Amino acid sequence: MMLRIPALLSAQEVRECRQAMEAADWQDGRLTAGHLAAQVKSNLQLPVGSPLAAQMGNLILDKLGHHPLYLSAALPLRVLPPRFNRYEGGGTYGNHIDNALFVIPGTATKVRTDVSTTVFFSEPDEYDGGELIVEDTFGHQSVKLAAGDAIVYPGSSLHRVNPVTRGTRYASFFWTQSLIKSDEQRRLLFDLDQSIQQLTADHPAHSKLSALSGTYHNLLRMWSEA
């Protein structure tokens, strides 16, 4: 499942983060890539453990922690602290699939990368290229969203970032371990949850609401790994 979350961050929040990122010290993005990924990766990243990355990451996680669309779609159990990248001057990241597991820095806790998220910090007209290309069961998708928007998609997807030939593309990326390992099951639960919410809004006294809600929670109980 691929899902856009519009305006996760406000215009003011994007401006403040951009100002901080433009003045930050960046490092070669290949330092955090595996052997194969490093061969197709050419970008810059904020160092893992950077105070600035932690500050901006906490802002993103706070927003997502209260966002009903993300919570319904991802059903988060654990979230890896957000990382930040910068593409310019032909910077690109070729086709790859992300590592299955990451360790939360400073801990022994592992996060399984069920759900990938990218948050955009540059407007589409600020740079040429830089599309996030995702290939999965839902087809070939090209993603280039407004600053402050986020895209959520399966961590198992083959994906890439096209070369940025003009301007600078700033973004955040991170992974969520879901309560539900299967993307197909997450999608079914998401569709059911959205239908229940719509029915609740349109017909709050409908006699089937309790039954549908019970079915949702029973499926969640059956499939959850918590």
- Residues annotated within the binding site are 96, 98, 159, 169
Binding residues for Fe cation: 96, 98, 159
Give the long-range contacts of residues 144-147, CB within 8 A, separation 24 or more: 144/120, 145/4, 145/120, 146/6, 146/7, 146/120, 147/9, 147/11, 147/14, 147/18, 147/120, 147/121, 147/122, 147/123
Please name which of 164, 76, 88 lies closest in space to residue 117, comparing C-alpha atoms: 76
How far is Cα 53 from Cα 17, in angstroms, rounded to an integer?
A: 10
Binding residues for 2-oxoglutarate: 169
How far is Cα 226 from Cα 224, in angstroms, rounded to an integer?
A: 6
